[in-house]
Structure 1
Amino acid sequence: MRITIDEDRCCAAGQCVLAAPDVFDQRDDDGIVILLDAAPGPDQHAAVRDAAAACPAAAITVEE
């Protein structure tokens, strides 16, 4: 699994952090997503898929 984010699309909703806090975080100044792990282990895959699905701006791309 590989994850990419489009910071320009991110609306700082934080749904990704709630779904996968070991993979995503948010910048303190504006809340834009920070990718902590671009290639998470299998134990995080379901949470990452949930995070991508919950993103209201579709700023997260997951490649299997």
Structure 2
Amino acid sequence: MFELNDLRQTRFFQDVFEEGKKEGKQEGKLEAIPQLLAFGLSIKQIAQGLGLDEQVIRQAAQPKS
């Protein structure tokens, strides 16, 4: 019988799991941007610190409607 442990060993599961971790890390970075701006950091400083493009920082800094 195919068990959860068997599924975890498949390439598909490993690829999906890694993609999910990357997305989670990206979301965490994006959520931190408003706070970092509030601390007085520049867009350039935030981009360098988080390893993101400055345009991504600008988009994340826009108020959500």
Per the normalisation by structure 1, the TM-score is 0.26
Tell which has more relative contact order, 1 or 2 (C-alpha 8 A, sep 6+).
1
Bigger-Rg structure (1/2): 2
Identify, as 1 or 2, the structure richer in strand: 1
